[in-house]
Structures are given as C-alpha cells and as structure tokens.
Amino acid sequence: MSEEDEKVYKGRIKVPYSHTAGKYVKKFLEEIGKNQRIMGVKCPNCGKVYVPPKMVCFKCFKKMDEWVEVGNQGVVNGFSVVMHSTPVMPLKPPFGYGIIRLDGADTDFVHLIKEGDPSKLKIGMRVEAVFKDHRQKKITDIEYFKPV
Ligand SMILES: [Zn+2]
C-alpha cells in the first residue's frame, strides 16, 4: 500500500480515569489542606527525606514511616517559564514550573512559581509556598510558590 492509498484520521480522545492517591500521598495532601504543613518521610537507614513522600527509599529499599515536617520555603533547582496560554494551564501565563528543594527535604518537588518577573527566575533563588484560603486537600492547595 502506498502512502497515497492510506487515509489518516486525526482526532482527540478524552479518557476519564481515577486512581487512589495511596496512604502516603493522602496524608501529605491532608496535612497541606488542614494545617498548611508540608510533610515528608525520612529513611531510617540513610536519613534521606522524601517530599512528596514515598513508602520505600529509592536508595536503600527500606520502608519509611517517620514523618517529618519540611519548610514552606525552598530553593529553585530548575525551572521553565510558560509564556503562552492553553486551555489546560493552571495559571494565566507568564508563570514558571519550578523544581524546588524544600528546606529539610532531600528530593525535589515540582510546582508552579508565580509573582514577580518570570524572566528573573534563577537557579538557587528562594521561594515560598502560597496556600489557598479555601483548601480541598489537593496539591493545588499550594496555589504556587513566590520568590522571597
Ligand atoms: Zn535510604
């Protein structure tokens, strides 16, 4: 069959789905929603603090169940600036997606960065979580991070 014989149909599909957050992410989201506290879990072997929390240390394969509060502030370890709007954007551009290492954590946390001039985002700059007033125990209860 030649390319000329093929008929290509283009379309979009909508795939509804649901999944469980799991015990650890549920607690993580509840602490953010109820108490505006960001919690991680600490490995009993290597001491690494994971945010968001994981059940098992990726390095040691030890089960982790020591919960520790980390800071609402952290350092930007990477970022991307969004300049163009699409219907699925969580905020009106311009804003940034940041790879953030919260104070007291040993892993990075991806979230939005807003406020200030996005062209001034820099690796190493400090940011702080901005919580929504009306929280629903979702990751979007942290509306975004702002430079400090
Ligand atoms: Zn470990």
Cα 7 to averaged position of ligand 1 atoms, centre (Å) = 53
Cα 126 to averaged position of ligand 1 atoms, centre (Å) = 27
Cα 79 to averaged position of ligand 1 atoms, centre (Å) = 27
pLDDT tens digits, residue range 95-119?
999 999 999 999 999 999 998 888 8
82, part of any domain: yes
**Taking Cα atoms as reference points, which of 45, 57, 27 lies closest to residue 137?**
27
11, part of any domain: no
87, part of any domain: yes
Cα 35 to averaged position of ligand 1 atoms, centre (Å) = 27
pLDDT tens digits, residue range 5-37?
788 888 888 899 888 889 999 999 999 999 999
Contact 79, 97 (CB under 8 A): yes
92, part of any domain: yes
Domain count, the chain: 1
Rounded to two decimals, what is the model's pTM?
A: 0.84
The first and second tokens of residue 78, run together, are: 């990477």
Instruction: Give the number of other CB atoms < 10 A from CB of residue 4.
Output: 6
6, part of any domain: no
Cα 42 to averaged position of ligand 1 atoms, centre (Å) = 8
The first and second tokens of residue 15, run together, are: 């795939």
Where helices occur in the chain by DSSP H, the ranges are 22-35
CA separation, residue 64 to residues 56, 57, 86 (Å): 6, 7, 39
Contact 12, 117 (CB under 8 A): no
Cα 43 to averaged position of ligand 1 atoms, centre (Å) = 5
